[in-house]
Structure 1
Amino acid sequence: MASIVSVVDEPRFAKLGKPLIFSVWLALASALCWSETVWRDEVRALSLALQGDNFADMLRQLHGEGHPALWYILLRAAYVVVGSPVVLKVVALVVAGAAAYLLVFRLKLPLPIMLLSLFGSFSIFEYAAMSRNYGISMLVTFLIVLIWEKGARNGLLIGLLFALLANTNVHSVVLVGGFLAYWFFDLVLARPRPPLREYRGFATAAAIAAIGIVVCFLTVYPTFNDTGQNDLSGENFALLALRALALPSSHFMSFYPDSILELMVAYPLAFRIFAALMSALIYGSLFALANRWPAMIAAALVLLGLSLLFTFVYPGGYRHQALWLVFMIAMTALSTKFQGEGAGVVGMKAAGGGVKFGRLCFLILLALQVVSGIEKVNRAFVAEIPFSRSKDFGAFMQSRPDLKDAIIMADPDYLVEALPYYLSNRTYLPREERFGAIVRYTRNARLSLSLADMLQTARRLQQSEQVPVVILLSQRLDQITAPVSLRESYVWRLSLTPEDISAFRNATELVKRFGPAAGSDETYDAYVLK
């Protein structure tokens, strides 16, 4: 167990082992990134970043999307230089590579935690191969730790990093609050009392962070994606808050690999057992920071803050949940430095057993992420099942010269969002009755559609635009034999009847059926209107 809490600082390992470890990570992350088919949320961000004639226009049109502006600014700037959609993958990989470099070479972490963090699913896939804005959170978080480690508690510098972190995504605002809580309790609990300049630095950083948080919320709210929020009508807010506090596993089940999640779906008893185990692992992991009370309090507050955000605003996916793991890694690095400086030795002895237990729980959590990462590698290179069929559809369209000017529409509408990465065809959004590649999840749209409505819209487009119309349907029509009303997205409905299906199939030609997609719902049948 001693190796769990020790810091590996041997010169030979630093010179040979760390570069080798980083090289392996970089090769694997790059292979995953370039092999991965982009999906709608990734391309949606690029489409948003490229709208408008300039940066100011882009920022105005971005208002209300649901994310702050930093990721879009980076994508737009890179596109100005490169002029290709490939910047989506390049920027994501560069950001993830910088974070991984800090994790391996600059943060003071025990070797097991460093290795498991580096090869966890969030580091190697979700924040690297998946081109989203959450990888920036990991990079900025590690930069903050690095500044702290050097003792440069300059209120201005760290405050600017806090403001930057708050504008990576809304969830990272909670991380900013966690860092401020860590700093505050570090000052309050310190003995002897720190000098006044320490409090001035904290106040300066807090003020700058507050400005960054305000900028984030002014960019995000009011959101035009008003259907994407949790429906809390008739719910008891106090009970929801207590449940979020008592059972964190209810919002962090994605920490389990897919193989365990599938087992839990099949067996209700297994679900209860693994849910209880996840709560125990999460709360147990907090004790890994028991040698540093400010860090433990901050990590607990971030856990609570994310749980409440998932409960009252919108549910969190793995990319959101893993931000707590990133914050735990940051607090571990700060606590390791505290231990290495020899401060608080008495506290360390008193909490030694708890720290070892907590570190073991955290190691198990991180090991689960490595298993998830192995599943991603297997899916990409062995099973060869893509995350989305958008790339395959793009290749199909390019093989059909007769469809080069075709308009593409889909149900659900969001299936077209990934296509601009691979195609230049115009796309049409039936629920909003407009051309575009960015879906607005608004109630001011056709929330209910039938297959007859889709066919009517396609005929109108064919007549008005005088070009072929391709229709993508996520539903396999030959498998539906009775009237159904299906829920799609947040509040959309699609109605299907045998009569409408027969009419649709008579008016169209099924030209391609795409295989399964792993991790998303982006597979479909492609029809061409006759």
Structure 2
Amino acid sequence: MAVIVSKIDEPRSTTLCKTLIFVVWFALASALCWSETVWRDEVRALSLALQGESFIDMLRQMHGEGHPALWYILLRAAHLVVGSPVVLKIVALTIAAASAYLLVFRLELPRSIMLLSLFSSFSVFDYAAMSRNYGISMLLVFLIVLSWERGMRNGMVLGLLFALLANTNVHSVVLVGGFLAYWFFDLVLARPRPSLSAYRAFATAAVIAAIGVVLCVMTVYPTFNDAGQNDLAGKNFAPLVLYAFAGASSYFMEFYPDRILRLVVADPSLARVFASLMAVLIYGSLLGLANRRPAMLAAASVLLGFSLLFTLVYPGSYRHQALWLVFIIGMIALVRRSRPAAAGIAGVESSGGVVKIGRLCFMILLALQVASGIEKVHQFLFTDIPLSRARDLGSFIQSRPDLKDAIIMADPDYLVEPLPYYIPNRTYLLREQRFGAIVRYTRNARHSLSLADILQTARQLRQSEHAPIVILLSQRLDRIAAPVSLRESYSWLLSLTPEEISAFRSETTLVKRFGPVAGSDETFDAYLLK
């Protein structure tokens, strides 16, 4: 296919330069991928993908998880071939490498934007080293851009790509809407009016995309992770929507590197300054597409769509927010590819000062992502502080023959989710009172626990299962001197009193205290029930 080979008319020096750039990216992404300790959300997806006796059983059991099916299908298919949890990293890195290849060799981008995009945090770490489903979105966005002209002829190709994009993650449904908005405004603003066949192609793609969106919704809802959604009880819907439209940039503060975010948290006055600056950069970036109004309107619609999603459904993290940057990159490439064909069409303006200012704003945004990427490289390649202590716990358990068959329980429960990647020990979920490695963030679980409850459950489990019991606690008990009630996860509570702590420590042995982590909360003390 044309989209997977480099241009044959490029000078050899240009091709060699691009090849070197790609090799450097691949070496860096691979080093981050294989050095990164997987954390709970990564392994949770693999655990879900391996449920059931068949693909149908897997799809049935993952219904309501909160993500559509494409990532899980890819993981299960790869595991059938490799037969090892390492497929998690292999699949993620392969998808990221394909995206990076298209970014370097196929997308028609200014070299500065290509380089900044390639070495941004989302490209080199969050969608490559981090084994999640969001990297597929970037690959499909780039494939859509490259297939655009051919796909506009009948709508089938783009429609199928839209349907796949809608089934990578819920946030990518907004990206599908953005592409359809671009196509729609492109038709409406075109002069002379397009032929009937052009509208028919759009309608075909829209129908296929709608089928993909329906499949996504049917897979995701009703969700059993109902505690993970935004709680809108007692809140007025209209002000929330108005705030989402007026303050969209406030949902994208994680575009700043961690060093700036720490300053923002420490100083409220700086928080206002950096929030205002982020608004200028985000809304200014839209102006970079002002020479192609359909693209600017599409990018604005995706920005507002994400803001509504973060306000009304799920809070947004960096991996979600960065999808907007990926969409802008796709729009820039799409505009450059279609520029000759669009000459003289309404909605297409000559490049001027406004566009240059907009491109500068977007390049500053990308430069911030490169700074974040440098932080990630330093953190995970040049320090000994991992993302999670799950691998260290696995090594410790394997070094203790007496813990070979130990049952592991934890508070919070989700601390056990990454363990299946490293050790085969059974895990028990305190809040749901069942064995398993997939936590359901449901409002039907035990929302309030005490340390006495944990100790009692451990005793009962040892009596019924005749196995050693290892208890992981995220709280450092020796640092608590007064009764406290701590909020965990979305809506869980853990109560601790000095009396309960004393009783717990008298019946357990602290066998290992694990050190700090970066970028997650997956560190803990490990206790063995006496």
1:527 partner SS: strand
Does 2:210 match 1:210? yes
Shift of 1:438: 0.2
> Residue type matched to 2:444 in 1?
N
CA spacing shift, 1:471–1:382, aligned 2, 3 Å: same
1:409 partner SS: strand
CA deviations 1:65-112 (Å, max 9, x no partner) are: 000000000000000011000000000000011011111111100001
Shift of 1:245: 1.4
CA distance in 2, matches of 1:464, 1:348: 72
Q: How does 1:122-141 map to 2 (within 5 A)?
A: 122-141=122-141
Q: What is residue 469 of structure 2 aligned with on the other side?
A: 469
Contact persistence 2:151–2:158 (CA under 8 A)? no
> Residue type matched to 2:398 in 1?
Q
Contact persistence 2:191–2:345 (CA under 8 A)? no
Structure 2 spans left out of the alignment, 5+ residues: 1-8
Q: How does 1:283-362 map to 2 (within 5 A)?
A: 283-341=283-341, 343-344=343-344, 352-362=352-362
CA distance in 2, matches of 1:81, 1:405: 28
Q: Which shifted more, 11-20 or 158-167?
A: 11-20
CA spacing shift, 1:435–1:151, aligned 2, 3 Å: closer
Q: What is residue 401 of structure 2 aligned with on the other side?
A: 401
> Residue type matched to 1:140 in 2?
L
Contact persistence 1:339–1:345 (CA under 8 A)? no
CA distance in 1, matches of 2:349, 2:319: 36
Does 2:189 match 1:186? no
> Residue type matched to 2:276 in 1?
A
Q: What is residue 66 of structure 1 aligned with on the other side?
A: 66
> Residue type matched to 1:435 in 2?
F
Contact persistence 2:450–2:494 (CA under 8 A)? yes
CA spacing shift, 1:349–1:172, aligned 2, 3 Å: closer
Instruction: Give me the TM-score of the superposition, normalised by structure 1.
Output: 0.97
1:289 partner SS: coil
CA distance in 2, matches of 1:347, 1:197: 21
Q: Which shifted more, 191-200 or 42-51?
A: 191-200
Contact persistence 2:448–2:494 (CA under 8 A)? yes
CA spacing shift, 1:216–1:196, aligned 2, 3 Å: same
CA deviations 1:376-415 (Å, max 9, x no partner) are: 0000112231100000110011110100000000000000
Q: How does 1:456-495 map to 2 (within 5 A)?
A: 456-495=456-495
Does 2:527 match 1:523? no
Contact persistence 1:149–1:334 (CA under 8 A)? no
Shift of 1:348: 6.4
> Residue type matched to 2:266 in 1?
A
> Residue type matched to 1:529 in 2?
L
Q: What is residue 114 of structure 1 aligned with on the other side?
A: 114
Q: What is residue 271 of structure 1 aligned with on the other side?
A: 271
Shift of 1:37: 0.2
> Residue type matched to 1:124 in 2?
V
Q: What is residue 444 of structure 1 aligned with on the other side?
A: 444
> Residue type matched to 1:357 in 2?
I
CA spacing shift, 1:226–1:342, aligned 2, 3 Å: closer
CA distance in 2, matches of 1:207, 1:297: 21
CA distance in 2, matches of 1:223, 1:201: 34
Q: What is residue 91 of structure 1 aligned with on the other side?
A: 91
> Residue type matched to 2:472 in 1?
L
> Residue type matched to 1:428 in 2?
Y
Q: What is residue 368 of structure 2 aligned with on the other side?
A: 368
CA deviations 1:431-471 (Å, max 9, x no partner) are: 10000000000011111000000000000111111110000
> Residue type matched to 2:323 in 1?
L
Q: What is residue 427 of structure 1 aligned with on the other side?
A: 427
CA distance in 1, matches of 2:413, 2:505: 20
Instruction: Give me the TM-score of the superposition, normalised by structure 2.
Output: 0.97
CA distance in 1, matches of 2:100, 2:327: 15
Does 2:385 match 1:392? no
Q: What is residue 260 of structure 2 aligned with on the other side?
A: 260
CA spacing shift, 1:99–1:154, aligned 2, 3 Å: farther
Structure 1 spans left out of the alignment, 5+ residues: 1-8
Alignment: residue pair count: 522
Does 2:229 match 1:239? no
> Residue type matched to 1:412 in 2?
P
CA distance in 2, matches of 1:61, 1:348: 49
CA distance in 2, matches of 1:234, 1:54: 43
2:186 partner SS: helix
CA spacing shift, 1:350–1:74, aligned 2, 3 Å: closer
Does 2:32 match 1:32? yes
Contact persistence 2:39–2:390 (CA under 8 A)? yes
Contact persistence 2:290–2:349 (CA under 8 A)? no
Q: What is residue 170 of structure 1 aligned with on the other side?
A: 170
CA distance in 1, matches of 2:154, 2:136: 22
Contact persistence 1:248–1:282 (CA under 8 A)? no
Contact persistence 1:147–1:153 (CA under 8 A)? no
Does 2:53 match 1:53? yes
Shift of 1:154: 3.2
1:227 partner SS: helix
Q: What is residue 415 of structure 2 aligned with on the other side?
A: 415
1:449 partner SS: strand
Q: What is residue 6 of structure 1 aligned with on the other side?
A: none
CA distance in 1, matches of 2:434, 2:314: 27
CA spacing shift, 1:253–1:153, aligned 2, 3 Å: farther
Contact persistence 1:48–1:58 (CA under 8 A)? yes
Identity %: 75
CA deviations 1:505-524 (Å, max 9, x no partner) are: 00000010001110000000
> Residue type matched to 1:143 in 2?
L
Shift of 1:12: 3.9
CA distance in 1, matches of 2:336, 2:64: 40
> Residue type matched to 1:405 in 2?
D
Q: What is residue 157 of structure 1 aligned with on the other side?
A: 157
CA distance in 2, matches of 1:346, 1:72: 43
2:139 partner SS: helix
CA spacing shift, 1:429–1:346, aligned 2, 3 Å: closer
Contact persistence 2:103–2:114 (CA under 8 A)? yes
Does 2:379 match 1:379? yes
Q: Which shifted more, 227-236 or 281-290?
A: 227-236
Contact persistence 2:294–2:347 (CA under 8 A)? no
Shift of 1:341: 4.9
CA spacing shift, 1:293–1:59, aligned 2, 3 Å: same
Contact persistence 1:30–1:129 (CA under 8 A)? yes
CA distance in 2, matches of 1:237, 1:254: 25
> Residue type matched to 1:511 in 2?
V
